[in-house]
Amino acid sequence: MNSTLAIEPSVFYFGTPVALLTTAKAGDETANITPISSAWALGDTYVLGLSNGGKAMRNLRDNGELVINLPDARLWESIERIADTTGVADVPAPKRDKYRFEPDKWTLGGFTPRPSGIVGPPRIAECPVQMEARVTNLTPLDEEGDATIVHAKVLRTHVHQALAVPGTSYVDVDAWKPMYYTFRHYFAQGERVGVNFRAER
């Protein structure tokens, strides 16, 4: 049996998918892009962890609409170009030593906006998966009020044609290569090692 050690990691990102949220406040010409790695799905609801000081959370409180864009591994450099930016002009004090204001993350990251069909914020054309969604619940993470748990119901899902299994709503799992964030490093999906009993194809 393997022995264990008690450790105190600074973060708990053992491996979570990267997502790019697009949000917009009513009247803003340019939608904001927020890279996050605290995201997971339960049914048609995405659960997102967001800092209260960021532009995304402010926009979601304003209108509750967003697009959850899932990049693949080839986009890591584009994501890293916007990683140290914030859409908040008055950069919050806890972020000032590492983040800078950037009003147009689209140009900086080399991303292309595409209109959504149901929600206001645009989709990111380069991301192979784009999910239009609407907030259904906001819950404070803790008493400090630094972050919020966001429940967002997916209303419509778009995928690049290369990922779609013809004639179905299935995603080709061999073609889909999501990006993972593991202890602040980017990883591509590795080889398939097995199949769950509930897999439909």
**Separation CA 114–CA 193 (nearest Å):** 35
Q: 168: domain range?
A: 16-188
Q: Is residue 10 part of a domain?
A: no
On the question of pLDDT at 153 being above 90, the answer is yes
- Cα distances (Å, whole numbers) of residue 38 to 71, 93, 125: 14, 22, 22
Does a structural domain hold residue 201?
Answer: no
- Domain annotation covers residue 3: no
Q: What average pLDDT score do residues 51-64 get?
A: 94
Domains in the chain: how many in total?
A: 1
- Read off the CATH number of the domain in which 106 is found: 2.30.110.10
pTM: 0.94
What number is the average pLDDT over the span 85-103? 89
What does the pLDDT average to over 163-176? Answer: 94
Residue 25 placed within a domain:
yes
Q: Render pLDDT for 128-142 as a digit per residue (tens, 0 to 9).
A: 999 999 999 999 998
- The secondary structure of residue 187, as a DSSP letter, is E
Is 193 inside a domain boundary?
A: no
Evaluate whether residue 124 is within a structural domain.
Answer: yes
| Residue 36 belongs to a domain | yes
In a domain, 198, yes or no: no
Summarised one tens digit per residue, pLDDT across range 8-42 is 999 888 889 999 999 998 777 789 999 999 999 99
